[in-house]
Copies of this chain bind each other. A is one copy, B any other.
Amino acid sequence: MPKIVNHEERREQIAEAMWRVILEKGMEGATVRNIAGEAGLSTGALRHYFKDQDELLVYAMRLVNERVEKRALKILQEGLPPKEKVIRVLLEIVPVDEERRAEMDVWFTFQAHIRHRKDLEGAPGHALRGAVSKLLGFLTYEEVLREDLDIGLEAERLYSIIDGLALHAFLEPERLEAGKVEMLIRDSVGRICR
């Protein structure tokens, strides 16, 4: 009996196939034919789930954001001190292992592509800035954040550090070790907390 896969599961599988194609061949190689092949589908069957490459592209980008968000929410529900929760959430974003590295690689490739695709509708923006602001709001609410800070400036700094680290892990995967990333994130969060 064939495995029953519902519509949404199949869409996720196709998006994941697109990620793999992008990781191996870049956006130039992310044709409907290649993605269908990677997903083990005919191009006709793929079109049953996504009407064109753009619809799939937007869906696959949203899926990256959703997965990161889901992991973050899970951490926030754990029984950890507020500062530790914030550090762990930030470590979810910076690619310190293979899965996160692949996500970031796909995400940067998408971003570079959509810069020149003003016609593309519904592409998700960069969710990290809002997330960092919320995390600082959470630290304020928990009375852990230092009171003498310019919060706007600190949010911008933390946002830059996280994305700078993510970019470096993307550009120099061999150089930037997970331990170094964690040390810098711990230190940077530590100095804005009491």
Contact of A28 among B28, B109, B156 (CB under 8 A): B28
The docked-state distance in angstroms from the alpha carbon of A28 to that of B183 is: 39
- This chain: copies in complex: 2
A187 contacts across to B, CB distance below 8 A: 153, 157
* Interface contact A108-B116, CB-CB below 8 Å: no
A167 contacts across to B, CB distance below 8 A: 163-164, 167
A115 within 8 Å of B by Cβ?
yes
Q: List 7 A-B contacts (CB under 8 A).
A: A28-B28, A153-B183, A153-B184, A153-B187, A160-B168, A161-B161, A163-B164
- Interface 1/0s, chain A 100-136, versus B by CB < 8 A? 0000010011011101110000000010010000000
A171 within 8 Å of B by Cβ?
yes
* Interface contact B172-A164, CB-CB below 8 Å: no
Contact of A180 among B156, B165, B168, B188 (CB under 8 A): B156
